[in-house]
Amino acid sequence: MAVVEETGATVAAAPRPRGGPLRSVRDSLVVAKRNLLRMMRIPEMVVFGLVQPIMFVVLFSYVFGGAIMVPGQASADATVYREFLMAGIFAQTVTFATAGAGAGIADDMHKGLIDRFRSLPMARGAVLTGRTLADLVQTALTLVVLAIVAVIVGWRVHDGVLKALCAFALLLLLGYAFSWIGALIGLSVRTPEAATSGGLIWLFPLTFISNAFVPSSKMPAVLGHIADWNPFSATVQASRQLFGNPEGVVSDAWPMQHPALASILWSLLIIVLFRTLAVRKYRSATA
């Protein structure tokens, strides 16, 4: 390990990582494996993560299903609303994983684990990338369970398995993008509790001012316009199209006319922006 002089004191400097991009990928996978093993040893983390989305499916399906009419239908139909609803529930589930990602990173920072990682000759961004990849795997497992529950309550896919898999891929891409927002929040607060609160407080307006639960055409004009350009809405709309589920009235806004492309562009933009900010924050926090 290299030794440097700083203000008259001898300080041990972290060894520099070598190996380039391949080494960075390998380091990220090692960190991801560590986080997945931790999740397996604490199954309550996965179980509690499933409870909320399942509750949303049951409550919205049976409490509101017969009262909300999807535009284009002659009357309120619980079955039609369930199919309209499920893409929104899927998207909400993958984005709410943001809070868990932020809390996990904040917990690692609080316990000093990040400092131990820093003493190793590993890529600086690998710690965050590994964490977000592990969260992506957990989110995928959650979606599988949630899809089974959705089928039980009456949700169906009408345009084939391939398109359905493409819809789930868009959902996971959105979830991965939002996990980088969670990583930045986790690095910016002092405790896991603050990371959890900070990861949820902005998600509720984001998910409810969207087309997830009601069509944007039923909102006041200003809110409807915001909902149409909401990255969350683009993924929901694209998923509905790919699942073959009812879409309601689709606005003339570009993201609603090209939802799949808009979903991909929004997700990639969020990943590039917030990964850059999170890695920069990580380097400054551990410097």
Please list, in sequence order, all residues whose beta carbon lies within 8 angstroms of the beta carbon of residue 221, skipping any fewer than 6 positions away.
Answer: none
Give whichever of 38-42, 48-52, 116-120, 262-266 has the largest mean pLDDT.
262-266
Arithmetic mean of pLDDT, 74-79:
62
* pLDDT band at 165; cut points 50, 70, 90: very high
- Dist CA 64 CA 113 (whole Å): 45
* pLDDT band at 73; cut points 50, 70, 90: low
Of 68-77, 173-182, 187-196, where does mean pLDDT reach its minimum?
Answer: 68-77
Domain ranges of the chain: 21-285
pTM of the predicted model as reported, rounded to 2 decimal places = 0.84
* pLDDT band at 24; cut points 50, 70, 90: confident
pLDDT value of residue 11? 40
| DSSP type of residue 210 | S
Q: Which two tokens stand for residue 10?
A: 């001898």
pLDDT value of residue 12? 45
Any idea of the CA torsion for 262, 268, 269, 275, to the nearest 10 degrees? 160
pLDDT value of residue 4? 42
Arithmetic mean of pLDDT, 18-30:
75
* pLDDT band at 35; cut points 50, 70, 90: confident
